[in-house]
Amino acid sequence: MKRTVPLILAFISGIVMVIAFFCREGSLAENLSQEFLIWSSIIGGFSLLLGCASIVRVQWKHVSQQKSGWGFSVVTLAAVLISGLPGVFAVSWSPLFGRGTGSIYDWIFVYISTPMSGTMFGILAFYIASAAYRAFRARSAEATLLLITASLVMLWRIPMGEAFLGTISSHLVDFVNTYIMLGINLAVQRGIIIGAALGAASMSLRILLGIERTYMGRG
Amino acid sequence: MNIWQRMSSIDRHYVYLLVAATVIFPLIVPAHFPIGISPEARQLYEAVDSLPEGSVVLLTFDMYANNLAETEPIARAALYHLFRKNLKVVTVTTIPFGGPSIAERITRELAAKYHKTYGVDYVNLGYKPNYVSVLKGMGSSIESIYPTDNSSTPLAQLPLMQTVKNYADMKFIYVVADNGIVDYWISIVQAQYGIRVGCGVTSVMAPKLYAYVGSGQMTGLLGGMKGAAEYELLVGKEGLAVTGMGIQSLVHLLIIALIFIGNLGFFMEKRRAARAKS
Amino acid sequence: MSGMELFQIWIMAFFTLAIFSFLYKDNPIYRFAEHLYAGVSVGYYIGLYWDTVIVQQLWVPLTQSKVPEYWLAVPGIMGVLMFSRLSSKYSWMARIGLAFIMGNTAGVFLLSQLHGNVIGQMQGTMSPQMANGSPNAALTAIVVLGVIATLIYFYFSKEHTGALGVTAKVGIWFIMISFGAHFGYTVMGRISLLIGRVYFLYTDWIGSFSQIF
């Protein structure tokens, strides 16, 4: 029962979507599928709230057991409260509450979270430069081809490089766009998209038919 | 350590310093080179420019705050273009962390600048969980997925949303994204509902999407800061992207030089070792 | 520039430099910023889902609509049961909501992936490729050969020998060129993100020095 009921539910919620694809708007199947989409959205929200609860639980464990670095876990928990609670309180209580522009919730996102987000990804530029210098070696013919193409594309994507390529040949910039990006690259990406789509479709069928059950966990 | 070994093993902190210096220098001494417009950027621009006044366009803010340096210039240039053409704009986001806030900030700022009225000229629908539900559900009824907008105003109270019930009432979907959601805008929305979709994405996403451009499933593509710069030039509103291309040029040349130096040191050392062995 | 604007710029600069400090080595300021970021992210999610799901999608339709949508209690209960995951004894109850979402998504994907990606992309491959507005035979041949070679390279159910092996080898060459292009774009992407932060530090933060000093 613990596994059978969810499997039946997965089948029903999925097969309605499949049938509705072939039905006209306003039909029973189409209306039911629309309702199921709303239900999915609601349940999806709870699953993400579960993730938040899980993180809070882990950090609380660090603090209560005074594990190494537990002071930083206090910082995390305090940040959760200070940034989350104002978003939960009704905006009718105070303009500082709610999620709108000018609220504490929004202020923390714009002035604390956004710069940190951007910088965390910005430092990747240093790492990619260092990695390109240390590890990008033309050890084989294939690696050499990859390296030459990467250099060509890096030149092609910058105005200085476009000007330089233009001095070698007026058709070189066009050649890179047409034959490399819209030719070879397009072909490979298309092959990957088709392969991945076939894999996703077969996995979806396995989930619908109850063959794939790993999402349910053990027990 | 001989010169070739030194050449291929410079300490990483010096590499970081070189990168930092190369980024800072063009800010102090700016350099401008003409920026070429790619056919894909022009295709997107012309598709939007050809829309009749009053057409409804769905503009998506499917981006995290991490990638704002690439996606915000695209979103701003796109929104400027849409407002300049007096097109009606409905925004959504499938990204929970930051998407709604970013959409509110940029649309409100530009709407105030170009005298656009909320609820009449543009609406921010905000975020709802489970992107599959959102993308598929809006095909039948936007109001069933978004009973209210991002500010909790019921859609029934917004004049624009009285005429926009689903994708059939829209003329174009302008996706600004930094993740794989673009695949689903094409496979779920464009394929089933036939509405034209154009995209502005980060550089990491762009190479894959050429496959959709080539098959005609995507109408135009902007890739990263270069794509944003191209669009800024096309709409006539130069911003961070155009400024950033000068800096980008120098750093790219540095990385190409570093790759060359690393490989030169590697091969010369390999040759020297082979000669010493023989 | 007002006092509040200056304060905001300096807050943003502090956190930007705190994260950049990791380039030298791990340090307490970086760890403080990192843990703060984690907490702020979780808080943002809580505020967002409370408003968009619990209030807008459940509470308002259930209690404030002209015709209360009582059937929404079903997904509401399934959603609440997701929290049973936190208990080892009752975690099986979370499967109900999870199975519903998985089945629903699988139902959509089954057809959208075939219709949108497989058929759409195959149609694109079978059509002549355009270059500068007119059909280009060389480009078409490259695309057809490249798609077939790539698909064959990733086909591991048969050993790559004979004709299959030769085609797979051609596939590798195509893939290396594509991945090279991808690497070039990725480098560009990372640098763009760094430019964004450095531009802020140079124009806004260092620019604010003239207001203060």
SS3 state at A46: helix
pLDDT value for B4: 75
- Give B197's strand partners: B173
Q: How many CB pairs under 8 A join A and B?
A: 183
State residue B177 phi and psi, 5-degree precision. -145, 160
SS3 state at C160: coil
Q: Into how many domains does chain C fold? A: 1
SS3 state at B182: helix
Interface test with A, best of B24, B68, B130 (most A CBs within 10 A): B130
Q: How many CB pairs under 8 A join B and C?
A: 150
Q: Into how many domains does chain A fold? A: 3
* C108 interfacial to chain B (CB closer than 8 Å): yes
Inter-residue contact A86 to A104 (CB < 8 Å)? yes
Last residue of a domain, one of A23, A47, A65: A65
Range of the domain at C188: 135-213
Is residue B266's pLDDT more than 90?
no
pLDDT value for B270: 85
Task: Give me the mean pLDDT over the C169-177 stretch.
Answer: 95
Same domain, A17 and A56: yes
Nearest to B148 by CA among B171, B173, B123, B170: B123
Is residue A219's pLDDT more than 70?
no
CA–CA distances in Å: residue A2 to residues A53, C95, C96, C209 = 24, 8, 9, 64
Alpha-carbon gap, residue B256 to B252, rounded angstroms:
6
pLDDT cut 70: percent of chain A above it:
99
pLDDT tens figures, B142-180: 999 999 999 999 999 999 999 999 999 999 999 999 999
Residue C168 falls inside a structural domain: yes
Task: Give me the mean pLDDT over the C49-67 stretch.
Answer: 90
Residue of A nearest to C73 (CA): A39
pLDDT tens figures, B53-107: 999 999 999 999 999 999 999 999 999 999 999 999 999 999 999 999 999 999 9
Alpha-carbon distance C213 to nearest alpha carbon in chain A (angstroms): 23
DSSP category for residue B87:
-
Is residue B8's pLDDT more than 80?
no
Same domain, A91 and A169: no
Residue of B nearest to C139 (CA): B214
A 10 A CB-CB count for C162 gives 9
Chain-chain contact of C177 with A185 (C-beta, under 8 angstroms)? yes
Alpha-carbon gap, residue B266 to C141, rounded angstroms:
38
Of C44, C58, C150, the CB nearest to A109: C44
The B196-201 sheet, strands edge to edge: B122-127, B88-93, B56-62, B172-177, B196-201, B221-223
Is residue B241's pLDDT more than 90?
yes
Task: Give me the mean pLDDT over the C206-213 stretch.
Answer: 86
All domains in chain B, ordered by first residue: 39-244 (3.40.50)
Q: What angle do CA C101, C41, B223 make, to 5 degrees?
A: 80
Residue C24 falls inside a structural domain: no
Task: Give me the mean pLDDT over the A195-217 stretch.
Answer: 93
Contacts of C15 in chain A (CB under 8 A): 112, 115-116, 119
Supply the pTM of this predicted model. 0.94
pLDDT tens figures, A143-196: 999 999 999 999 999 998 998 998 998 888 889 999 999 999 999 999 999 999
Is residue B3's pLDDT more than 80?
no
pLDDT value for C69: 87
CA–CA distances in Å: residue B157 to residues A64, B72, B119, B229 = 49, 29, 8, 38
- Give B89's strand partners: B57, B122
Same domain, A52 and A81: no
Of B100, B129, B244, the CB nearest to C192: B244
pLDDT tens figures, A5-37: 999 999 999 999 999 999 988 899 999 999 999
Residue C84 falls inside a structural domain: no
Last residue of a domain, one of A65, A92, A109: A65
Alpha-carbon distance B37 to nearest alpha carbon in chain C (angstroms): 14
Interface test with B, best of A28, A36, A133, A178 (most B CBs within 10 A): A133
| Average pLDDT of every residue of chain A | 92
Of C56, C105, C143, the CB nearest to B152: C56
Chain-chain contact of B98 with A45 (C-beta, under 8 angstroms)? no
pLDDT value for A216: 84
Same domain, A130 and A153: no
Task: Give me the mean pLDDT over the C84-100 stretch.
Answer: 90
pLDDT value for B33: 84
| Average pLDDT of every residue of chain B | 94
Same domain, A129 and A190: no
Residue of B nearest to C124 (CA): B215
Contacts of C185 in chain B (CB under 8 A): 203-204, 206-207, 223-224
Q: What angle do CA C79, C85, C91 make, to 5 degrees?
A: 105
Same domain, A145 and A131: no
Of A38, A136, A186, the CB nearest to B133: A38
Alpha-carbon distance C74 to nearest alpha carbon in chain A (angstroms): 8
A 10 A CB-CB count for C59 gives 14
Range of the domain at A47: 1-65
Chain-chain contact of B210 with A186 (C-beta, under 8 angstroms)? yes
Last residue of a domain, one of A65, A88, A121: A65
Residue of C nearest to A59 (CA): C39
Is residue B123's pLDDT more than 80?
yes
Alpha-carbon gap, residue A75 to C182, rounded angstroms:
39
Interface test with A, best of C148, C183, C188, C203 (most A CBs within 10 A): C183
